[in-house]
Structure formats: structure tokens, C-alpha cells
Structure 1
Amino acid sequence: MKLAVLSREPINYSTQRLVSAAESRGHEVLVIDTLRCYMSIASHRPTIHYKGDALENVDAIIPRIGSSITFYGTAVVRQFEMMGTKTLNASLAISRSRDKLRSMQMLARKGIGLPITGFAHSPDEIPDLIQMVGGAPLVVKLLEGTQGIGVVLCETRKAAESVIEAFLGLDTNILVQEYIKEAGGADIRCFVIGDKVVASIKRQAAPGEFRSNLHRGGSAEVAKITPEERKTAVRAARVMGLDVAGVDILRSNHGPVVMEVNSSPGLEGIEMATGKDIAGLIVTHLEKMLIDKPKRVEG
């Protein structure tokens, strides 16, 4: 097969591992800077050009679309889809997962466990919004935030009112969520490929920090998950329509709750912690996708 990895970071761990795993299986691999792609949008013969040449005879792509380029990145993935190229994660699925509000609404509609979440536009509604999620402490999240950036823990009602008012005053979209204290600053990253959780790790926040992101100094270790957590992770990925996803779960007193479904989950943390060849499993799944007929997507 001729594969293309859409990535702006060719020396990134995840990119290099995917290239290595594909090449070891005898595939030809291109690493393509997503923002350097440009398109001819025509009904008779849609094409994608890259650095002056048409990209032709690409059997499948592995999108590694950063959150900052979601709009252009998903447009490139759609163009490949128009050309009949198989894509590991579809453009629509990536768009769904990147829209935090939309993804929460879709997961809620399917009955998947979530933290109590509020969304409002007017500062006049702040008191009731805080009450809606159970009062302080609570978490305020920017809809456009990623890797823990734009996430604030408000430990008192007064602090919550001030933070929410400040964000709304800047005309910024935010979510207000209940704080799952019993999680103890830890979450579970479930790596889903197809209909299986192939690996899971527990990410623990650094001392004095409540965000467990590895980019923020968190640590990772192998996690043993329950059947309910496994089922929740697979269902969450399926609702988004993602074949490969990182599903972040908190262990609450009322069962597992999904915090986020990531369409471009990093490989370094989970491969280092588990010792599993996740990149190889991704390439193997992509090979299977090229043979199997498209399956129905829930959601």
C-alpha cells in the first residue's frame, strides 16, 4: 500500500512510530504537511497537490490533525475522501470530536456517562449555571482549549462567578462542569482501535495540579479497566464515528464519565507505559479497513 500520514511534525514521536510501523509491514509511506496541501475542488476530477505535484495513487491516509488547524485539516481529509482514498478517521468524525459542546451533546443523547455540564451565553445566568452543576468547586473549560490549556478549577462560588464572568466578558465560549473530586486528579486514557480498547493507562496529575495531561507534568502507568469502562470507551468512540480514538474517562461515584474523545491521540505516553506496539495495531487496522466494507456509524 501507499500510505500518507498527514502531520505538521515529521519528527514527532507519533508520526515517526506510524511511519516505522507501516514501513516494517512493507508499505510505502509519505509524511505530508497538512497546511502545504492545496486542492482543486471539481466534480469530475477532484485533486490534491503538494509542493507543486499532484498526490496520486495514495491508498489510505492517517490524519494527525492538530486542534489549531481543524478547519483546514478536515477540508484536506474531505478532499481525500472525495478522491476515494480511505482515511483512518473520517473528516466528519474528526470535526465532531473537536467540537466539545457538540460531542458532549451527542454522547449525552446516547446515554453515555458525563460530568454534569452547563453552557450559557449571558452573564445574567451565572448564579443558576453554577447551581446547575452542583455548585463549587467546579471546572471552567474553554471550548477551544487543548492539552489542559484553558481549564480552570474554581474552588469557591465567588471564584467561579469571577472566572465565568471574565470569560463571558471576552465573548469566549466556555463549558462549566462539576468537579469530580473522587477522581483524585487522575483519569483513564483508553486507546480504542475499531471496536476494542487495545491499551489503557492511568494519568495522574503532578502534585498541586488537578489536570492529568502528560504535557502538564502528569505521570502515566498501566491501568486495569472495568468492563463498564471498556464498554463506555468503545461506545464513545463509535458515537463520534472514530476508528481510532483516545477516550479520557474519570472514575466518579456514579460510574465512569467521559471527559473527552480525542481523534489524534498521542502514542508516546501509552506505548512507553504499556510497552505495546500501538502504532503497529493502527496500521494493521487500516489494512483491514481497506479490505472490509464500510460499517455503519452510530450517532
Structure 2
Amino acid sequence: MKIAVLSRNSHLYSTRRLVEAIKAKGHEARVIDHLKCDLTIEPTGPKVHYMGEVLDDIDAVIPRIGASVTFYGTAVVRQFEMMGVFSTTYSQSIVRSRDKLRSLQLLSGAGLPMPRTAFTNYSKEERSLVDHVGGAPVIIKLLEGTQGLGVVLAETRKAAQSVIEAFHGLKARIIVQEFIKEAKASDLRVFVVDGKVVGAMKRTGQEGEFRSNLHRGGKAEVVKLSRLEKSVAVKAANAMGLSVAGVDILQSSRGPLILEVNSSPGLEGIERATGVDIAEQIVAYIERNQPKKKGTISKLKA
């Protein structure tokens, strides 16, 4: 098979590992910068043009779409889907995962546990928002934030109101969540591929830092999940329609709580912490799901 990794940088750890895994299994690998793709829609069918050629021989794609280019990146993935090319992550699922509010609505609809969350479009409801999630301290998040950016811990009601007012003044969309103190600045990153947990690590933030993201200087260690934590992670990925996902879970006094579900989770932290070849698991997933015959239009849920 010819498998394309949709990535803007061939030198990134995740991209390199996927290319290595594809080649190790005897397939042809290609890295395609999705922002340099041109899309044409014609009576003869959709086409993807890249660097002067038509990409009509790709059997499967592995999307690595950054949050800042979600719109165009998912358009490229959707075009490949319309051409009958197998994708490890559906374009619609990427769109859903990038909208924190929509993600939480889907997870809630599936009956999955998560921190209490509040959202409003009314700038004078700062006090009510804090009350809705059980009072201060609270976590305030930008809906479009990634890698721990746009996340604020407000330790008092007054601080929370000030931060919410400031974000609303900037016309920024935010959600307010309860602060899970017993998590102690740690969370679990659970990697799910094809409905199974293939790796998990515990991430802990630096001293004085409430965010556990590795990009913010957090540390990672291998962790053994409980049966319930595995079940919740798989159900969360399924609820989002993701076959490849990084599910972030908080360990609370009332059990595991889903924090977020990522559609393009990085491989570096999880592979180094666990020693598991996650890239190989993703390629094996493609092999188990032989690509559809070209020209077949994918029927995706809206």
C-alpha cells in the first residue's frame, strides 16, 4: 500500500515514527503537507493536487492536522475520503474534537463522566457560571486552546469573575470547569487505537503548575490503568468517532473524569514513557481495515 502522512513537518517525532512504521511493514510512505494541497471538484470527481501532480494513487492517509489549520486540513482529509481513500481519522471527527464545547456535549450525551462544566454567551453571568460548577477554585478554558495554552486556574470567586470578564471583553469563547483538587496537577493520557487501549502514561505538572502538559514542562511515567479507566477511555473515543485518539483523564474521588479527547495525539511522550510502538499499532489498524476501492464515496455521519 501507499500510505500518506498528512503533516506539515517531516522532521517531527510523530511524523518520523509513522513513516518508519509504514516502511517497516513493507508499505510505501509519503509525507504530504496538507496546506500545499489544492482541491478540485469536477463532474469527473474530486481530486487532490500536490506539488504539480494529482494524488490518485494513495491507498490510506494518516492525518496529523494541527489545531491552527483545522479548517483547511480537514477539507483535505474530506477530499481524500470522497475519493474513497481510507483515513485513520475521519474529517468530521477531527472537527468535533477541536470544539471543546461540542466534544463535552457528545461525551455527556454518551453518559460519560467529566468535570462539571458551564458555558454562556451572556457577559453578565460570571457569578452564575462559577456557581454552576460548584464554586471557586475553577478552571477557565478558551474553546480553541491547545497544549495547555488558554487555560487559567482562578483560585477565588473574585479572580474567576475578573478572568471571565476579561475573556468576554475580548469576545473570546470560554468554558468554566470545576477544579479537581485531588488530581494534584496530574492526568492520564490514554492512547486508543481501533477500539483498544494500546498505551497509557501519567503526566504530572512542574511544581507550582496546575497543567500537566508535557509541552508545559510536565513529566511522564508509565501507569497501569484500572478496568474502569480503560473502559471510559475507549467509550470516549467511540463517542467522538475516533479510531485513533489520545484521551485525557483526571483521577478524582468520584472516579475517572474525561478531560479531553485528542484527534492528533503526539507519539513522542507516550512511546518514550511506555516503550510501546504506537506508530506500528496505527499502521496495523490500516492493514486490518483494507482501504476501500477508489471512487467509493465515504458515507460519514454529519
TM-score class, shorter-chain normalisation, is over 0.9
Q: Judge conservation of contact 2:86–2:291 (CA < 8 Å) in 1.
A: no
1:56 shift after superposition: 1.4
SS of the residue 2:56 aligns to:
coil
Q: Distance in 2 between matches of 1:48 and 1:40?
A: 7
Q: Judge conservation of contact 1:89–1:263 (CA < 8 Å) in 2.
A: yes
Which amino acid letter does the alignment assign opposite residue 139 of structure 1?
I
Q: Judge conservation of contact 2:5–2:15 (CA < 8 Å) in 1.
A: yes
Partner of 2:167: 167
- The alignment covers a number of residue pairs equal to 299
1:44 shift after superposition: 2.5
SS of the residue 1:8 aligns to:
coil
1:213 shift after superposition: 0.2
| 1:191-210 aligned within 5 A | 191-210=191-210
Q: Distance in 2 between matches of 1:91 and 1:223?
A: 31
1:52 shift after superposition: 1.1
Which amino acid letter does the alignment assign opposite residue 100 of structure 1?
K
1:42 shift after superposition: 2.3
| Residue ranges of structure 2 left out of the alignment (5+ in a row) | 294-298
Q: Moved runs in structure 1, 4+ residues, more than 4 A?
A: 296-299
Partner of 2:114: 114
Q: Distance in 1 between matches of 2:188 and 2:2?
A: 34
The two structures have a TM-score, normalised by structure 1, of: 0.97
* Structure with the larger RCO, 1 or 2 (CA within 8 Å, 6+ apart): 2
SS of the residue 1:280 aligns to:
helix
Q: Judge conservation of contact 1:241–1:298 (CA < 8 Å) in 2.
A: no
Q: Distance in 2 between matches of 1:63 and 1:105?
A: 24
Which amino acid letter does the alignment assign opposite residue 256 of structure 2?
P
1:297 shift after superposition: 9.1
Which amino acid letter does the alignment assign opposite residue 183 of structure 1?
A
| 1:1-299 aligned within 5 A | 1-290=1-290
| Residue ranges of structure 1 left out of the alignment (5+ in a row) | none
Which amino acid letter does the alignment assign opposite residue 141 of structure 2?
K
| CA distances 1:163-212 after superposition (whole Å, capped 9, x unpaired) | 00000111110000000000000000000001111110000011110000
RMSD of aligned C-alpha atoms?
A: 1.8
Q: Distance in 2 between matches of 1:146 and 1:15?
A: 19
Q: Distance in 1 between matches of 2:121 and 2:240?
A: 25
1:298 shift after superposition: 9.7
Q: Distance in 1 between matches of 2:223 and 2:272?
A: 13
Which amino acid letter does the alignment assign opposite residue 50 of structure 1?
Y
Which amino acid letter does the alignment assign opposite residue 93 of structure 1?
S
The 1:137/1:101 distance shift into structure 2, 3 A limit, reads same
1:27 shift after superposition: 0.7
1:291 shift after superposition: 6.4
The two structures have a TM-score, normalised by structure 2, of: 0.96
The 1:275/1:175 distance shift into structure 2, 3 A limit, reads same
| CA distances 1:47-67 after superposition (whole Å, capped 9, x unpaired) | 000011111110000000000
| CA distances 1:219-244 after superposition (whole Å, capped 9, x unpaired) | 00001111111000000000111110
User: What is the aligned-residue identity percentage?
Assistant: 58
Q: Judge conservation of contact 2:60–2:291 (CA < 8 Å) in 1.
A: no
Q: Judge conservation of contact 1:241–1:297 (CA < 8 Å) in 2.
A: no
